[in-house]
Structure 1
Amino acid sequence: MSAAVKYTLGRFGLFVVIFVLLLPVPLNLLVKAMIALVASGGFGYFLLAKWRNEMAEQLESASSRRRAEKERLRAALAGDEEAAAAGDRAAEPGDRG
């Protein structure tokens, strides 16, 4: 399971748990939901720090891959033959089946 999915499910789970704990409290349902949202954000900051950091690392690696591919494509469009050949999937020998 990806780090983003784990973190999202963790945040949602915290919200649900806090909201269920607030059900017996005599407040408006919308107020309970707002309290649960704010409280789950606070608790999630501390309890889900590991998953949040994993998600940030995953997003950073994806961003760096996209940035490198963008630079390679710009170099290929500028006429750099090596950059064009480095990204040419048709030229890769393992792709022929």
Structure 2
Amino acid sequence: MSAAVKYTLGRLGLFVAVLAALWLVELNIFIKLMVALAFSAALSFFLLKGWRDEMAEEMATAAERRRGEKERLRSALAGEDQDPQAPDAPK
């Protein structure tokens, strides 16, 4: 399972858990949702740090891979990576 999926499911799980804890409190449903959102965000900052860091590393690796591929394609389009020994290379 990817780190982004784990982190997202963790955030949703925390939100549902906090909302379930607030369900017995006499408040407007909108207030319950807002409080659950705020508390779950604060809890996820501490409880899901490992998954958040793992997700950030995964995203950084993917961005670096895309950046390298983009540079390779740009140089190929500019004709900078053609092999001079190739039979169809311009002379």
Structure 2 unaligned regions, length at least 5: 84-91
Matches within 5 A, 1:1-97: 1-80=1-80, 81=82
TM-score between the two structures when normalised by the length of structure 2: 0.88
Moved over 3 A (4+): none
Name the structure, 1 or 2, with higher relative contact order (CA <8 Å, separation 6+). Answer: 2
TM-score, normalised by the number of residues in structure 1: 0.83
Aligned to 1:94: none
Counterpart amino acid of residue 53 in structure 1 = D
CA RMSD of aligned residues (A): 0.7
Give the aligned length.
Answer: 82
Structure ID, larger Rg: 2
CA apart distance, 1:39: 0.3
Aligned counterparts of 2:30 and 2:69: Cα–Cα separation in 1: 46
Larger fraction in helix: 1
